[in-house]
Structures are given as C-alpha cells and as structure tokens.
Structure 1
C-alpha cells in the first residue's frame, strides 16, 4: 500500500520529462536522521504522517449496475499521506548547500506541475482495483500549529531546507459487496396526509404476498389480518415507535420495530425463508 505510493513517486521523479538533475539523483524513502548518510546525491521522501481526510469522507455507498442487478460497495477511505522532501549532497561546504538548494527547487517545480498523480505513474495496489478518485498532490503546505523545529530535534539532526508533499489516496477496507437482483416491477402506494395509517404488506422471501397473516401491534394489542395482496392497515393510531408482530405457520414469530410518522406510513414485513 504505502510502498506502492513510494514507487509511484519514484516513477514521477524518474520520468523522462523530469529535469536531468532530478532523474540523475538517487531516490530514498529512509528516515533522514543522524544515521542517514547517502553515498550519492539523493532526494529523500520521508513518509511521516498518515491521516484520514475527513473533508472528503463520503458515506453514500457505490452502486454499480450489472446485467443481473446491482452491486453495492463501500466507498474507499480517503487518506492523506504526507512526506518530508529533502535533498542530500555529497559535496562539501558551500558547494553542498548550493547543490541541495538547486536540486530541491527543481524537485519542487517538477512535482508542482501535477495537480493529481497521472494514472500511468501509479504502481502496485494503487492500480488494482483502479483508484476511484484522482490522487491530488499538495505541495509545501504546513499544517496549522505544526513547526519543523521539534521535528528536526526529534530526528537528532540540524534543521535543513525541506518541503512537505501530501498525496491523498483511496483505501478500501472492505472486501465484501452486496448483490441485489434487478427490480422486476415497481409498485407505487400513495398515502393521505390528513388520513394517515400505519400500513404495509406481509411478503415471503420471494416478495410474494402472504394473505391471511395475523399482524399485531405489540404496544397496544391492535390486530389485523393481511388481505389477498398481503396488505394490512392500522388507522387512528398516534405517530410514534411501534413493534409489528407477525405470525406465519411454520416460522418463528417475527417482530419488526417501525417508526410511524406522517412521512413514514408504509412498513412492509418480509418473512425469511424457513
């Protein structure tokens, strides 16, 4: 997962269109602490922060149409992956600083060309399945209240020129998907706002009506029997929370909690297969 994002960024820095000095540099993803001492000019991208992007959170499921019906899946988790980008030169004294500053500037300018990661750069699990959303890049943005002084102190090295790079990727924590058959019929059942009634139908697992089925409201004992269409109705009932008790021969008693309101008057009861 994160290693595939590393490989993706390395592919961007190695692209033939990138500046020659950027392509010639080694690319590392090591921690730039006091033990880090590369033997050649190196661009280091240190992944140090991973957070869910709450602004991009979407709880609405994905619905894909198939030949036989529909597949419903969870939307991916949107995660901000933040790197600290530094450059390390093998030169000495003033030449070292000059090379590091020049190369870091070239890396910043090159990556700034991309508002999102282009699909041909993606590697590994970032391609299978394909990312649902483009992967945005945010350059040189420091989070509010965050400073670099404590960061370098924790690493045990002197502060050096650097910039942040954040890539937002999509992760799918759920493998399962729910499959539903295509609807064969569409049934419209109107309600009357000034004459409300708690109503519905009793259906079997194939959605066929179950006529002659006793239906009781547990809270007040009101009883009804479903008609030839499996329909039942309770009138002159105050809005509120109720429990429908359905008894079908050969099945255990079925209880269904319902919230009865002017906008929610119809509550079907589906009896599972025995």
Structure 2
C-alpha cells in the first residue's frame, strides 16, 4: 500500500512541476552519503522516515459499520487513518537549481490538499471513504534536522516535510444473515406454591404472553419517495427505512392486514401472518 502511495506522489509531481523526458529523477531512497555521491542528474528525493496512526482522526462513530444488503448485512471495522511522513530534498550541483526544484515541489503540494481522485484506485482511501490528505511544511512533531542528517551520515540540506494521510482497513467485511424476527415472552404464576419432592416449588398454573418483533420489505414502489406502513387491526409502531424495509414491534402471533401508503396517497392492503413462515415478510405494492 505504501508503494502505491509512492507511485501516486511520483505521478503528481511529474504532472505538476512538470517533468518530461527524464530531465529530473524522482526517487524514494534513504539519502545517505553513498547514495548522494552516485547521483548523475537532478533528483527529487522523498525519504519516508515515519509511519504512525493519526489519533486525531479516530472516528467517534461506532467501532463497526453495518450496511444492510438484500439478504443480510455487511459488517466491517472502521478504517485506520495512517500518517506517512516524507522528508523531500532536491539534489543538484547548483544551489539555485536546488532551490528552484524545492519551490516547485512546495507549490505542487500546496495546490493539492488532497490527492487527486484519478491517482487513487481506492486502495489508499478505503474505496473512496476518506480522501488522501496532503499536508506540506506543517511540523506537528518537530524533528531535529541535525540529528536526522547525522543519522544518515550526510551533509545537512534544506528539505520540505510532507504528511500523507491514507486509510487502511486490514479486515474483510463480515457477511451476516438478516435478523427477521425476535420473540419476547413473560409469564405469571398463579395458584399455590408448595415444595415438591425434589425441593423445588410446584405451582398451580403458569400463564404466558408472547410478543414478536418482525422485519419485512416493501417491493414494487419508488424508494426515492417516502412510504408509510401500518397494521390495520392494531396500533403498533412500524419503522420504515429508505430501502423499503420495515420493522413491526411488539405484536402478538396471528393474522393481520398490512396497509402500505405511497407518497401519491395510493393505498394497498396485504394479508400477513406473525410470525412469518418465510422469516422475512415481503409485500408487493404497485
């Protein structure tokens, strides 16, 4: 993934500076003394020296993202936002040319606070969920340049700092079946309560009541417009979602009439059973 970021940054610089005919080389090497001594033409070097999570961009939303599909749901973990730090240097024999190259690099990244969409196939942005952010010459964590160049065993040179923030999700989405029904029951004990021979309580009568929450979907309607769903026989809350799915809560077992209202005021009735033999209640409204 980082190698794809390298290639995207290379293409951005070639386009923006611009560079043609191989007049200037773009590399991603460690700028050690041995490397710089072998350079034979002007070079822009992007040295990646740090990779860490951007804690400020951690989402405050739920840890997992759920997308309802036709026959279930896709559950995926939220992406990690990763900062990739580059130290950009220019290498020429003339300091004026070096400063000119650095100026063009700086202007190129200042024109783009985000990586252009055509340079990312979705790998760096988690399929377009988050843009690839580019921050140039913004030192959040100041690095002592003397220590950096001493570690590289090379002479100190002017540099431009770049932070590219990419999105990484190492986990595959989990496909889970759609929950179409839940059942809730409670009971009441009546009559005498006496100890039985096993030491427990023997009760006279145990009555129960059971309520269901069922899910369904309305087919054959324009989902761009709002629809309403109700149960003709009883007043129970019916939640309708933008994809035509609905949820009926706290309803007893039995046969009912489902009424669908379209945005144009058209009304249709559909017999349903709770619980449904097929699990998901499907009605076709024309």
Q: TM-score range by the shorter chain?
A: 0.5 to 0.7
Aligned mates of 1:33, 1:48 — CA distance in 2: 13
Question: CA 1:176/1:64 → structure 2, altered by over 3 Å: closer, same or farther?
Answer: closer
Structure 2 alignment gaps of length 5 or more: 190-199, 213-286
1:71-220 paired onto structure 2 within 5 Å:
71-89=74-92, 91=93, 96-122=94-120, 125-126=123-124, 130-181=127-178, 184=180, 207-208=182-183
Higher strand share: 2
Higher gyration radius (CA): 2
2:49 aligns to what SS in structure 1? strand
Question: CA 1:23/1:66 → structure 2, altered by over 3 Å: closer, same or farther?
Answer: farther
Question: CA 1:180/1:144 → structure 2, altered by over 3 Å: closer, same or farther?
Answer: same
Aligned mates of 2:103, 2:22 — CA distance in 1: 14
The Cα RMSD (Å) is 3.1
Aligned mates of 1:126, 1:145 — CA distance in 2: 26
C-alpha contact 1:4 1:123 (8 A) present in aligned 2: no
Q: TM-score, normalised by structure 1?
A: 0.62
Question: CA 1:139/1:11 → structure 2, altered by over 3 Å: closer, same or farther?
Answer: same
Structure with larger RCO (C-alpha < 8 A, sep 6+): 1
Aligned mates of 1:56, 1:106 — CA distance in 2: 29
Structure 1 alignment gaps of length 5 or more: 186-206, 215-220, 232-274
2:129 aligns to what SS in structure 1? coil
**Deviation at residue 20 of structure 1 after TM alignment:** 4.5
Correspondence for 1:67 among 58, 66, 70:
70
Aligned mates of 2:95, 2:77 — CA distance in 1: 49
Aligned mates of 1:84, 1:131 — CA distance in 2: 26
1:8 aligns to what SS in structure 2? helix
**Deviation at residue 18 of structure 1 after TM alignment:** 3.5
Aligned mates of 2:207, 2:97 — CA distance in 1: 84
**Deviation at residue 161 of structure 1 after TM alignment:** 0.8
**Deviation at residue 178 of structure 1 after TM alignment:** 4.4
Aligned mates of 2:20, 2:102 — CA distance in 1: 10
Q: TM-score, normalised by structure 2?
A: 0.60
